[in-house]
Amino acid sequence: MVPVDVFGVNPAGQSDMLIQINELTIQSLLDSEAFFVEVAGQPYLIKMSADLVSDSVSVAMGENVSVTGNVYQMTDSIVDSWVAMGSLSEANKIVATFSETFIEAMDVTAYSAPGASNQ
């Protein structure tokens, strides 16, 4: 497990590594297979793996999640492949290209924030 503040200092330093980060809050959704969480005060891109998508895993804005996955460098080829596969709309392509790195999530687990009520 990597603390979110440690990850936020240098996400690229975790490239090609399997990591788990807890205590992330979903800031916004990017089509149905990707979303942004807050890391070090900035939005950070999480792309759900094909397995998560096929398992119909979904998330909601404001939800607290734990993410397990691999960190990858973002390239134009990756974004183009997401558009070609239908994972990302052409309109949101520009948004994804602003990310230097992203996590391809193998697992996303929602949880209640500490002290939050489920009532």
119 residues of the chain, pLDDT tens digit each: 899 999 999 999 999 889 999 999 999 999 999 999 999 999 999 999 999 999 998 899 999 999 999 999 999 999 999 999 999 999 999 999 999 999 999 999 998 755 544 44
**Residue 119 in domain:** no
**Angular region, 62: left φ>0, alpha ψ -120 to 50, beta rest:** left
Q: In terms of residue numbers, what domain contains 15?
A: 4-111
Report the CATH number that the domain containing residue 36 is assigned in CATH.
Answer: 2.40.50.140
**Residue 72 in domain:** yes
**Residue 116 in domain:** no
Q: How many other C-beta atoms are found inside a 10 Å radius of the C-beta of residue 65?
A: 21
Count structural domains, the chain: 1
Integer angstrom CA distances of residue 62 from 29, 65, 66, 72, 110: 10, 9, 13, 24, 11
pTM value > 0.85: yes
**Residue 75 in domain:** yes
